[in-house]
Structures are given as structure tokens and as C-alpha cells.
């Protein structure tokens, strides 16, 4: 599945983009758009028939995250996430909050952000070892809490599937078609390669949203990923 990152500053720009497509899409709404427009934007995107990954990366004490998820459950999105660094108790609370309001959304966890490198992790966060070891442990914690999967780099998918099993979902940004600009992504993977690696969902933003013909760019990426 290809998820388009709707990294737009407001509703007008978002709908101007969505209007180019006349097929149901899977889209990601992140903090920028959600904080600008509020929960109503989710209802409006859903009304167009699109599926939604709500990427708000909740991270707080368990009780607060549970209540936040309970409220977000009413939006009836398809994927939603928390930070695994909040711990197993927080992740369990998030799941309880979602389910008590009957959300069937996949709950996934961010392990280490791809903007975090070994040096920062060791020296600033005081987490020793390699990033991949931390990512595997956080993925295992997410699994232990009953979550459905993780957001991760495509380069971490194999290791995560090894420890958490192949049904544990991986949602991966950092995807670039071979002919596309790299932007600020450091370690990138093509859609074809992502498929080979075993990524379940790829998140693609600028290669589609900034393309001259976004519909064609989306179709090409989808074709590359599915075949």
C-alpha cells in the first residue's frame, strides 16, 4: 500500500491536491495539517472516501495518552501512532483508549526517529549501543504492548521482522523513485526495493506532492511497489 503524506500547510492546499485524483487514496495527515485545521479536516478527507494514517506520534503519561486516543478514536482513522519511547504501559494505555471507543485502527509505534543517529542517541539521549539494537527492542516492546507494528526506516524492516515476525506491520518513509530528488531524506530506498525488503506500507510525500503531474507520479510509484 502506498500512503501519500499530505504535508500541506492548510486545508485549501490539501484539497486542491486531492481534487486531482478521482480514486480512493491512503493518505497521511501529520502534525502540521492537523494542528492547523483541527479534527474536522479528518472528517472532510474521509468524506472523499480516502483512508487515513493520522501521524501525531503521541507521547505522554499513560493516562493522558489513553484519553487522547479515546478522543481520536472517534475520528475513525485507519492507522494511528505513538512513540515507543513512552514505554509498554503507555502503549497499552493508548490501545485501551482506542478500543474503548471502538476504533479498529492499527496502532503503530515510532521506534527511533530516522533523524536520530548513533552519536545523538549515545551522547544526548544516553542510550548506549547501535540504533538498530534500540529499534529492535522498541519494536519488541510495541509488540508486547499489543500494537500492530511500527514506523521505521526501510533499512530496519528485515531486522524488525526477524524479531517481531512477518505479520508485524512496517510503515516506512524515506522512499524515493530512482529519478526523484532526495530532498532532506538521508537514507533512501526505491519503491521496488522497498517491496523486496518486505515493507508493508510506504509513505511518500514530495515525490508525489511536488511532482509536475502528481497523479502520474503516484501511479508509477504504486506500480513499482506492487509489482
Residue numbers at the binding site for ligand C5P (CB under 6 A): 5, 7, 30, 113-114, 151, 173-174, 183, 185, 203-206
- Residue with Cβ nearer ligand C5P (169 or 203): 203
Radius of gyration of the chain (CA): 17
Smallest separation, CB 210 to ligand C5P (Å) = 8
Cβ neighbours of residue 167 closer than 8 Å, sequence gap 6 or more:
none
Pairwise CA distance, residues 173 & 176, whole Å: 9
- Let me know: does 214 contact 177? Beta carbons within 8 Å: no
Pairwise CA distance, residues 42 & 108, whole Å: 19
- Residue with Cβ nearer ligand C5P (70 or 138): 138
Alpha helix ranges (H) inside 74-130: 88-100, 118-123
Smallest separation, CB 109 to ligand C5P (Å) = 12
- Residue with Cβ nearer ligand C5P (97 or 205): 205
- Residue with Cβ nearer ligand C5P (102 or 119): 119
Catalytic-residue membership of 46: no
Map grid coordinates 482513522 to a residue.
77
- Residue with Cβ nearer ligand C5P (29 or 94): 29
The neighbouring-strand residues paired with 169 are 149
Pairwise CA distance, residues 164 & 31, whole Å: 28
- Let me know: does 71 contact 42? Beta carbons within 8 Å: no
Annotated catalytic residue within 46, 51, 57, 118: 57
Smallest separation, CB 64 to ligand C5P (Å) = 22
Smallest separation, CB 227 to ligand C5P (Å) = 21
Smallest separation, CB 204 to ligand C5P (Å) = 5
Taking the C-alpha atoms of 38, 183, 220 and 196 in order, what is their torsion angle to the nearest 10 degrees? -100
- Let me know: does 88 contact 143? Beta carbons within 8 Å: no
Residues involved in catalysis: 57
Amino acid at each position: 500500500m502506498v500512503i501519500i503524506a499530505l504535508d500541506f500547510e492548510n486545508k485549501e492546499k490539501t484539497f486542491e491536491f486531492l481534487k486531482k485524483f478521482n480514486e480512493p487514496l491512503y493518505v497521511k495527515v501529520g502534525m502540521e495539517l492537523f494542528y492547523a485545521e483541527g479534527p474536522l479536516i479528518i472528517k472532510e478527507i474521509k468524506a472523499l472516501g480516502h483512508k487515513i494514517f493520522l501521524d501525531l506520534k503521541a507521547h505522554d503519561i499513560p493516562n493522558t495518552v489513553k484519553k487522547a486516543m479515546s478522543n481520536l478514536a472517534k475520528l475513525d482513522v485507519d492507522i494511528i501512532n505513538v512513540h515507543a519511547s513512552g514505554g509498554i504501559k503507555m502503549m497499552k494505555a493508548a490501545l485501551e483508549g482506542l478500543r474503548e471507543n471502538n476504533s479498529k485502527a492499527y496502532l503503530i509505534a515510532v521506534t527511533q526517529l530516522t533523524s536520530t543517529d548513533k552519536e545523538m542517541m549515545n551522547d544526548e539521549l544516553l542510550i548506549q549501543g547501535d540504533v538498530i539494537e534500540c529499534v529492535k527492542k522498541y519494536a519488541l516492546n510495541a509488540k508486547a504492548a499489543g500494537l500492530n507494528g511500527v514506523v521505521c526506516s526501510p533499512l530496519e524492516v528485515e531486522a524488525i521482522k526477524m524479531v517481531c515476525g512477518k505479520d508485524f506491520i512496517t510503515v516506512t518513509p524515506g522512499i524515493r523513485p530512482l529519478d526523484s530528488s532526495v530532498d532532506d531524506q538521508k537514507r533512501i530506498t526505491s519503491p521496488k526495493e522497498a517491496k523486496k525488503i518486505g515493507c508493508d506500507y510506504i509513505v511518500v510525500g514530495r515525490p508525489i506532492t511536488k511532482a509536475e503531474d502528481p497523479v502520474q507520479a503516484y501511479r508509477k510509484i504504486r506500480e513499482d511497489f506492487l509489482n
